[in-house]
């Protein structure tokens, strides 16, 4: 064997071994405790992985390997979230079917993932775009359509039971999640309805239903976009303008689960930041719904009788000086007077270009338009002007807000901007010092209704006053809205629905999966229908039109962890045996950017499946870790501005000299930069327009690049391909280095230059087993106490750190352990064999090779047991006492730790050095502090 570690040969050997022997294939095994480790599965982009992507995967793989060593039966699968917009956009540009692009991208990902040595059970791989998978996504959709949410039972129940109740009792006593405008009807009313009318009314209760809602519409992409796909009013992909538009969309009644979604956060070990994001997104608040009568003198025919608002502070209603409604509100045309029509139309068109995020987040920016109409404050009969403002959203609450400028900063900004009155009110929470008696909660003197009352009593009194007059009611409001479940795209799951007389019906379950049909173009039709409108002869039973929108990207990702449990099952999404055994995900690792998207929708679907008795757990993931982003380390070259222009040779000046010139910084490919020094010839070859470039160098011989830490991105040329590093220093080195960068949850900059330290460590480990001539030097000799102490110190620290997911500190511990063993010239099999097991979670290829060389040719280190910590090896046999004479330490003397104090005193006084300092004097006092110090007082 070579003295140098041949990582390329060893790593390829063990990757082949794992594949051929299906080393990580997992079956149900009731003799072992289970542990389910899951990564948020990736979308397979054409660019493949960069070094930032594997960070979470390496961490989850380390825990998977560690849990196996601890005796767990570990499920650690991988798959692909393979429906999505990028593949469709590529299909639009090239005409190539998205399935072909997706397949090619997945092949690249699998190659790269296997190359890094992940212990995935590839026999369980899933792809959301595979009809065998999305058959069950469609099936779950069908169950949602067949159920409603019963608030008394606090769970989903079959819609068939609701029909029975309607036919016998009507709906007056039904306490269910339903549309706000659901009418009250008797059993007689129901039974007299036509079948069409009954089905139309049931849509107001179903957990998934067609709904007209305001969406982010991107004309250039021809599709609706989710909020997280829109940045600064344009699409994240392509940068196309996005407008707010009312469209008929499928919706999911996630709002029915709002309380359970908030309360369930107490059951999971997720970060406080993620929990708080979800709580804020759901936005549970207690308050009152208030009806403001519309003043009739200025409105047009068709205007509402009143505008309803929700407020958490009904006690401030005496300070209302204006009403604001959303620009896209359905009442706008009827509330706009002729004099204000032009201004309102201009404002409505402007607001369409604004994303929801921009509209609700820009607190200081004020915009709006007066409709010309008024409402009446129910408490004091004051006329209140109605304005439009883009900070109010039609889809949230009633799409209307009462403006109280003396109690709210945004309202104050708005009132000040438009010259509206600011009516002073006494706020029991904010203006206690103004109250006459200065009591804890204050007392109100706004109105005769609540004169002298404290805050809670005033709120209850006003709410009761409204309810008695039919002008409002107490209400729990949620910021959460029903989830839009449609995309006007081709590359997504078809919705298993057909339409008859304008109403949706489910296809037969026997007809699942409803597969995507072939089409000739991937654009919307000329008449504005989604791409599926191009399918020829695509009709249910050859006569009914299918739903032409497809499901959103979050559909398949809202339940995929169950499919991993039983991925080949053709009869159900997973067997009850598999679900009962694997239950919930024990550790889920992925990005925090999914807090209010995937993670929220997944919790919703999981609770629904639990209601149906199909799964056992209320929450799908017990523990969640959000890995931080690995940031790119960008390099820059500096072009002298005077060298820009037609016919001029580009001139670049080194970073240390750039202040002597007027320059333009340009990103440069980090792969042609080494330790910030540019490879000039590679740079010339990189871009043809720089082939004749000239360079002003530092110290006459090198071009030094500028440096900046930024997001890793192709546009910044700072993407580092893991393939290059695996070829250069090996997968084990990459794994070690990524973990060594810092705590998993924190963002950290990438610096390829630092990876060499991890590579040197790998080689140092190898030298514990082979000498410089390549001779095997491991011996079957008894380990020394010092060697055992080093090993067991590492065992304890590594076990403690992995139990608390401190991945970077484990690398430090391994390095210290190897350094100490090297210093002790340790070559004992008893020690090194356990070191190999300790390292195997981080460096699986190297560990497998050394494990085999240590005599385990027939097995794999993944089947070993984690070393058992023995505290006795850390207990010191002797203690070295500092000997203090009159307050100064003069020497140190070692005694066995169990030596009696009297013997320690005698030994100290007999010591030659102590005798010298005593100089024949008899000590006044000798104080022995066991295992601390000996003090001699003369």
Give the residue carrying structure tokens 């931080």. 628
| Contact call for residues 144 and 206 (beta carbons, < 8 A) | yes
Helix axes 844-853, 829-839, angle to 10 degrees: 150
**Of 109, 3, 104, 94, nearest in space to 49 by CA:** 109
Please report how many Cα atoms fall inside a 13 Å half-sphere around the Cα of residue 549, on the Cβ side. 19
| Contact call for residues 649 and 666 (beta carbons, < 8 A) | no
**How far is the first Cα of the chain from the last one, in angstroms, to the nearest whole number?**
66
Q: Are strands 369-376 and 322-325 parallel, antiparallel or unpaired?
A: unpaired
CA dist list (Å): 693 to 644, 672, 676, 690: 11, 16, 19, 5
Distance (Å, whole) CA 433 – CA 427: 10
**Of 837, 836, 827, 829, nearest in space to 770 by CA:** 827
pTM for the model = 0.85
Distance (Å, whole) CA 872 – CA 752: 42
Q: Are strands 155-158 and 208-218 parallel, antiparallel or unpaired?
A: unpaired
| Contact call for residues 845 and 731 (beta carbons, < 8 A) | yes
CA dist list (Å): 743 to 535, 594, 626: 51, 20, 11
pLDDT score for 203: 98
Phi, psi angle pair for 687, to nearest 5°:
-130, 125
Distance (Å, whole) CA 102 – CA 661: 48
Q: How many CB atoms lie within 10 A of CB 822?
A: 13
Mark residue 515 as left, alpha or beta (left: phi above 0; alpha: psi -120 to 50; beta: remaining).
Answer: beta
Longest Cα–Cα distance in the chain: 119
**Of 665, 669, 650, 652, nearest in space to 715 by CA:** 669
471 is written with which tokens?
Answer: 């002008």
512 is written with which tokens?
Answer: 């699942």
Distance (Å, whole) CA 508 – CA 208: 17
Q: How many CB atoms lie within 10 A of CB 486?
A: 25
Distance (Å, whole) CA 589 – CA 76: 12
CA dist list (Å): 672 to 79, 705, 759: 33, 11, 21
| Close Cβ partners of 267 (under 8 Å, ≥ 6 residues apart) | 618, 619
Collapse the DSSP code of 176 into the 3-class scheme (helix H, G, I; strand E, B; otherwise coil) and give the result: strand
Collapse the DSSP code of 158 into the 3-class scheme (helix H, G, I; strand E, B; otherwise coil) and give the result: strand
| Contact call for residues 252 and 226 (beta carbons, < 8 A) | no
| Close Cβ partners of 781 (under 8 Å, ≥ 6 residues apart) | 827, 828, 829, 830
489 is written with which tokens?
Answer: 């795209």
Please report how many Cα atoms fall inside a 13 Å half-sphere around the Cα of residue 290, on the Cβ side. 28
pLDDT score for 46: 86
| Close Cβ partners of 823 (under 8 Å, ≥ 6 residues apart) | none
**Of 567, 554, 555, nearest in space to 120 by CA:** 567
Collapse the DSSP code of 876 into the 3-class scheme (helix H, G, I; strand E, B; otherwise coil) and give the result: coil
Question: What own/partner pairs with CB < 8 Å and gap ≥ 24 does 463-467 have?
Answer: 463/288, 463/314, 465/379, 466/288, 466/290, 466/291, 466/314, 466/378
Collapse the DSSP code of 449 into the 3-class scheme (helix H, G, I; strand E, B; otherwise coil) and give the result: coil
Which secondary-structure segment (H or E) carries 262? helix 258-263
Distance (Å, whole) CA 532 – CA 553: 17
Preceding amide of 513 cis, omega within 30: yes
DSSP state of 205: T
Instruction: Give 10-residue mean pLDDT values along the chain (938 residues).
Output: 86 97 97 98 91 96 98 98 90 92 96 98 98 98 98 98 97 95 96 97 98 79 72 77 82 97 97 96 92 86 90 89 93 93 94 74 82 93 94 84 89 93 64 39 56 79 91 90 92 97 97 96 86 95 96 96 97 97 98 93 98 98 96 95 91 96 96 93 94 92 94 90 95 98 94 92 97 93 95 97 97 97 96 98 98 92 97 87 94 91 93 91 93 93
Helix axes 731-740, 54-69, angle to 10 degrees: 100
Mark residue 762 as left, alpha or beta (left: phi above 0; alpha: psi -120 to 50; beta: remaining).
Answer: alpha
Please report how many Cα atoms fall inside a 13 Å half-sphere around the Cα of residue 448, on the Cβ side. 2
Which secondary-structure segment (H or E) carries 635? strand 630-640
| Close Cβ partners of 593 (under 8 Å, ≥ 6 residues apart) | 228
| Contact call for residues 690 and 684 (beta carbons, < 8 A) | yes
| Contact call for residues 728 and 11 (beta carbons, < 8 A) | no
| Contact call for residues 24 and 76 (beta carbons, < 8 A) | yes
Distance (Å, whole) CA 314 – CA 289: 9
Phi, psi angle pair for 474, to nearest 5°:
-65, 145
Q: How far is C-alpha 807 from the chain's CA centre?
A: 19
| Contact call for residues 739 and 62 (beta carbons, < 8 A) | yes
Q: How many CB atoms lie within 10 A of CB 136?
A: 21
Length of the chain: 938
Distance (Å, whole) CA 561 – CA 39: 10
560 is written with which tokens?
Answer: 């995929």
pLDDT score for 438: 37
pLDDT score for 361: 67
pLDDT score for 362: 67
Distance (Å, whole) CA 175 – CA 31: 46
| Close Cβ partners of 811 (under 8 Å, ≥ 6 residues apart) | 736, 739, 740, 758, 842
| Contact call for residues 573 and 562 (beta carbons, < 8 A) | yes
| Contact call for residues 561 and 38 (beta carbons, < 8 A) | yes
Q: How far is C-alpha 488 from the chain's CA centre?
A: 25
Phi, psi angle pair for 888, to nearest 5°:
-120, 130
In the sheet that 34-39 helps form, which strands lie side by side, from edge to edge? Answer: 73-75, 34-39, 587-590, 624-626
């Amino acid at each position: 064997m070579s003295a140098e570690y041949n990582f390329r040969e060893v790593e390829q050997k063990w990757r082949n071994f794992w594949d051929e022997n299906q080393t990580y294939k997992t079956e149900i095994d009731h003799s072992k405790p289970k542990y389910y480790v899951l990564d948020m599965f990736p979308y397979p982009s054409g660019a493949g992985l960069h070094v930032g992507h594997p960070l979470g995967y390496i961490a989850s793989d380390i825990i998977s390997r560690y849990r196996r060593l601890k005796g767990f039966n570990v499920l650690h699968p991988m798959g692909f979230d393979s429906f999505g917009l990028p593949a469709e956009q590529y299909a639009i540009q090239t005409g190539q079917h998205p399935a072909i692009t997706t397949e090619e991208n997945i092949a690249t990902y699998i190659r790269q993932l296997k190359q890094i040595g992940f212990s995935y059970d590839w026999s369980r791989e899933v792809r959301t775009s595979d009809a065998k998978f999305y058959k069950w996504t469609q099936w779950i959709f069908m169950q949602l359509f067949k159920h409603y949410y019963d608030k008394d039972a606090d769970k989903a129940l079959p819609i068939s039971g609701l029909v029975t109740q309607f036919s016998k009792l009507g709906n007056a006593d039904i306490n269910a999640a339903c549309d706000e405008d659901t009418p009250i009807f008797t059993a007689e009313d129901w039974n007299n309805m036509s079948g069409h009318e009954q089905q139309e009314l049931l849509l107001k209760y179903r957990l998934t239903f067609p709904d007209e809602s305001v969406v982010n519409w991107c004309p250039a992409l021809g599709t609706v976009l989710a909020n997280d796909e829109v940045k600064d009013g344009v699409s994240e992909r392509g940068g196309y303008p996005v407008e707010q538009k009312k469209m008929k969309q499928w919706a999911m009644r996630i709002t029915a689960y709002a309380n359970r979604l908030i309360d369930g956060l107490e059951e999971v070990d997720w970060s406080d930041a993620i929990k708080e994001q979800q709580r804020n997104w759901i936005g549970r608040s207690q308050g009152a719904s208030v009806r403001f009568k519309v003043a009739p003198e200025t409105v047009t025919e068709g205007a509402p009788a009143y505008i309803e608002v929700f407020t958490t502070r009904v006690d401030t209603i005496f300070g209302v000086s204006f009403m604001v409604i959303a620009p896209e509100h359905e009442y706008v045309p009827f509330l706009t007077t002729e004099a204000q029509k032009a201004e309102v139309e201009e404002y409505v068109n402007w607001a369409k270009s604004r994303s929801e995020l921009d509209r609700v987040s820009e607190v200081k920016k004020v915009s709006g338009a007066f409709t010309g109409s008024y409402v009446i404050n129910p408490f004091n009969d004051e006329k209140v002007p109605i304005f439009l403002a883009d900070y109010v959203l039609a889809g949230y609450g009633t799409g209307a807000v009462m403006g109280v400028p003396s109690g709210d900063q945004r309202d104050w900004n708005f009132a000040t901007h438009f010259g509206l009155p600011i009516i002073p009110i006494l706020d029991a929470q904010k203006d206690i010092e103004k109250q006459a008696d200065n009591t804890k909660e204050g007392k109100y003197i706004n109105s005769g209704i609540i004169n002298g009352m404290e805050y809670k009593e005033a709120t209850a009194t006003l709410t009761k006053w409204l309810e008695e007059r039919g002008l409002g009611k107490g209400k729990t409001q949620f910021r959460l809205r029903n989830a839009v479940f449609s995309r006007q795209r081709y590359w997504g799951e078809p919705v298993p629905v057909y339409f008859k007389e304008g109403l949706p019906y489910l296809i037969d379950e026997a007809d699942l999966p409803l597969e995507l049909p072939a089409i000739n173009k991937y654009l919307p039709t000329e008449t504005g229908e989604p791409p599926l409108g191009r399918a020829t002869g695509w009709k249910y039973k050859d006569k009914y039109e299918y739903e032409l929108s497809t499901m959103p990207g979050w559909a398949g990702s809202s339940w995929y962890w169950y499919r991993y449990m039983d991925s080949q099952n053709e009869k159900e999404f997973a067997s009850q045996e598999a679900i009962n055994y694997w239950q919930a995900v024990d550790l889920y690792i992925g990005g925090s950017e999914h807090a209010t998207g995937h993670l929220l929708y997944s919790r919703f679907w999981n609770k629904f499946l639990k209601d149906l008795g199909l799964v056992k757990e209320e929450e799908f993931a017990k523990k969640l870790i959000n890995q931080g982003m690995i940031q790119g380390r960008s390099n820059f070259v500096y072009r002298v501005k005077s060298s820009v222009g037609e016919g001029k040779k580009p001139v670049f000046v080194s970073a240390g000299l750039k202040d002597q010139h007027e320059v333009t910084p340009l990103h440069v490919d980090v792969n042609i930069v080494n330790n910030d020094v540019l490879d000039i010839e590679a740079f010339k070859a990189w871009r043809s327009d720089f082939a004749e470039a000239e360079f002003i160098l530092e110290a006459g011989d090198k071009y030094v690049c500028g440096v900046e830490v930024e997001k890793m991105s192709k546009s910044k040329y700072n993407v580092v391909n893991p393939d290059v590093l695996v070829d250069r220093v090996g997968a084990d080195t990459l794994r070690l280095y990524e973990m060594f960068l810092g705590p998993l949850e924190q963002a950290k900059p990438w610096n390829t230059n630092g990876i060499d330290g991890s590579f040197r460590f790998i080689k140092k480990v190898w030298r514990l087993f082979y000498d410089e001539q390549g001779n095997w030097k491991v011996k079957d000799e008894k380990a020394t106490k010092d060697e055992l102490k080093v090993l067991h110190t590492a065992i304890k620290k590594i076990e403690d750190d992995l139990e608390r997911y401190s991945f970077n500190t484990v690398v430090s511990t391994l390095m210290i352990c190897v350094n100490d063993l090297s210093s002790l010239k340790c070559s004992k099999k008893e020690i090194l064999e356990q070191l190999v097991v300790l390292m195997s979670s981080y460096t699986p290829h190297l560990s497998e090779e050394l494990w085999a060389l240590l005599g385990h040719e027939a097995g794999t280190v993944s089947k070993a047991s984690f070393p058992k910590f023995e505290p006795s090896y850390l207990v010191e046999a002797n203690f070295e006492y500092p000997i203090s004479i009159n307050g100064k330490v003069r020497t140190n003397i070692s005694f066995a730790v169990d030596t009696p104090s009297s013997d320690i005193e005698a030994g100290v006084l007999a010591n030659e050095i102590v005798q010298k300092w005593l100089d024949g004097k008899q000590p006044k006092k000798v104080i022995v502090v066991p295992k601390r110090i000996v003090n001699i007082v003369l």
